[in-house]
Amino acid sequence: MRQSHQLPLVGLLLYSLIPSQLCKICEVHKENYSCLNPLISTMINSKHTRGIQDANVLLSFRLVGIQKQDVEQQLIQHIKDKVARKGSDLTSGQLALIILALGECQNPDKKFIDDYHLVSQLEKKFQEEIENMGAHNGNPLTNYYQLSLDVLALCLFNGSYSIPKVAELFDPENKNYYFGGQFSVDTGAMAVLALTCLEKNVTNGQIKIDSKDLECIDNHIKSLVKKILSEKKENGLIGNIFSTGEAMQALFVSSNYYNESEWDCQQTLDTVLKEISHGTFSIPTAAAQIFPALIGKTYLDVNKDSPCSNNFNISTCESVTPTDSPSNISVHYSVKINETYSTNVTVLNGSFFLDVMTEAQKINETIFSFTMVETSWGPYITSVQGLSANSSKRTYWQLLSEGKPLSQGAGSYLVHDGENLEVRWSKY
Ligand code: CBY
């Protein structure tokens, strides 16, 4: 780096990074930790069968300091089996999450990261994402949420990546931050965490960076934070309830980019606590993603050299499943491609969207056939009538009720009597 570049660089760093030491984090007070018990129960009672859910849960356990030996050992074993069985089939973001989970705090699993060369595997997968963007109109193999996880894991675990490329890719105007024109708060928040990690590594001298790139990254963070804040709702949620935890993390690490008056953290926290008591976080991944922020932690706190902590005395309670009266309900179900194909379906009260799709498929195997894959959030519908979603073309099957997109997946959205449900062939 030339001398003439150093002065403005130092100035920028002093401006942008020193105030972050003073950042205010609102969090649940220790005496109210029992409010978080439903989240712990959901994570402990998870069936460990879904996609990469285990890595989400393990990361959360370690980050917040929940030590429950038997559960932890089971999670670790599942994750290791998964890597051994389908290492190269994992998506880049899945691998990044696994590295974050196995590598957080001083534990014997770090050896596994080295033995299986997980960091260099991630470098390769990140490169493949970029190559796919080159070949397919700027569309990555997965999505920008996963690319952000990749950069975050590479940054925290000393992987290599091109900083100018990252600065170019993560331009806030890039279409990959948007789904159907709507800014994705989850994606923006993860990008802020990743970019902030880069900035931190510049200040602590771990990486050298051109002042032009640093300024560019700094501007990206500023603008992403603005976009995140503009998705704040009246009740304090940011985006929706499932993106709020990650948005909080992003706002914790970027408090020098906005004024105190722009975000009432306590209001957000209160609304989330209310939702916890209503059982909103019944999916282990949902519980795992909200938890760190509630006790003031962020993914930037992942540190391979810090001792593992124990903050929670766990009183395991069994998860309560609501008892449904075994009555039937009837819903209207449509598949929309260009034409609309509809049917009425009768299912048991307490059924999910997926049950409706399964019943419809029994009624007409050709019109209502579908396939799905398990993800950490439950089933994701991959095809209907043989027509498959494709990331390189930004196509997917959107789920709607009364014409409005759902904020839950097919396996967790509870349907109601008389409801109009739809799966619509869409572009994002
Ligand atoms: N994780 C990922 O790769 C997913 C990233 C994510 C931004 C994610 C939300 C956020 C998160 N915290 O994990 C995401 N969804 C993406 C990228 C996508 C796109 C996936 C395709 C791709 N290129 O990778 C896409 C197609 C735009 C998408 N999500 C679709 C859907 C719908 C799924 C319908 C189906 N075919 O099954 C759906 C149901 C929206 C709809 N109405 O159709 C949907 N997503 C929802 C609701 C959600 C939320 C889940 C909430 C819940 N309780 O189930 C979500 C948390 C999430 C998962 N999607 Co997307 C967003 C939110 O509401 N806050 C990394 C990996 C390692 O795990």
33 assigned binding-site residue:
no
Atom of ligand 1 nearest to the CA of 246: 12
**pLDDT per residue over 313-324, tens digit each?**
766 544 455 565
Determine if residue 373 is left, alpha or beta; phi over 0 gives left, psi from -120 to 50 gives alpha, anything else beta: beta
pLDDT of the residue at 7 = 47
**pLDDT per residue over 20-32, tens digit each?**
444 557 999 988 9
Ligand 1 pocket test: which of 58, 237, 399 has the largest number of ligand atoms within 8 Å of its C-beta?
A: 399
CA distances from 52 to 41, 151, 152, 376 (A): 18, 18, 17, 5
Specify the fold of 328-427.
Ferric Hydroxamate Uptake Protein; Chain A, domain 1 (2.170.130)
Which residues, in sequence order, are bridge partners of residue 395? 390, 427
Q: How many Å lie between the centroid of ligand 1 and the Cα of residue 377?
A: 8
Which residues are within 8 A (CB) of 133 and not within 5 positions of it... i.e. 6 or more apart? 139, 140, 169
CA atoms within 13 A of residue 385's CA, in its CB half-sphere: 16
Atom of ligand 1 nearest to the CA of 399: 43
Q: Which residue has the tokens 């050298």?
A: 208
pLDDT of the residue at 22 = 42
pLDDT (mean) for 44-54: 77
Whole-model pTM: value is 0.93
CA atoms within 13 A of residue 93's CA, in its CB half-sphere: 20
Decide if 288 contacts 59 (C-beta within 8 A): yes
Residue nearest to atom 16 of ligand 1 (CA): 143
Instruction: Evaluate if residue 79 carries a pLDDT over 80.
Output: yes
* Parallel/antiparallel/unpaired status of strands 395-401 and 404-405: antiparallel
* Parallel/antiparallel/unpaired status of strands 182-183 and 404-405: unpaired
Domain 9-313 falls under CATH 3.40.140.10:
no
Q: How many Å lie between the centroid of ligand 1 and the Cα of residue 100?
A: 21
CA dist 277 and 241 (Å) reads 13
Q: How many Å lie between the centroid of ligand 1 and the Cα of residue 317?
A: 29
142 assigned binding-site residue:
yes
CA 216 to chain centre: 25
289 assigned binding-site residue:
yes
Q: How many Å lie between the centroid of ligand 1 and the Cα of residue 326?
A: 31
Q: How many Å lie between the centroid of ligand 1 and the Cα of residue 420?
A: 22
Ligand 1 pocket test: which of 179, 357, 375 has the largest number of ligand atoms within 8 Å of its C-beta?
A: 179
**pLDDT per residue over 279-302, tens digit each?**
999 999 999 999 999 999 999 999
Q: How many Å lie between the centroid of ligand 1 and the Cα of residue 91?
A: 15
pLDDT of the residue at 311 = 84
pLDDT (mean) for 415-421: 98
3 assigned binding-site residue:
no
pLDDT of the residue at 101 = 97
Q: Measuring from each residue's beta carbon to the nearest atom of ligand 1, which residues come in under 6 Å?
A: 52, 93-94, 97, 142-143, 145-146, 179, 184, 186-187, 239-240, 242-243, 283, 286, 289, 376-377, 380-381, 391, 396-399, 405-410, 412, 428
Domain boundaries, the chain: 9-313, 328-427
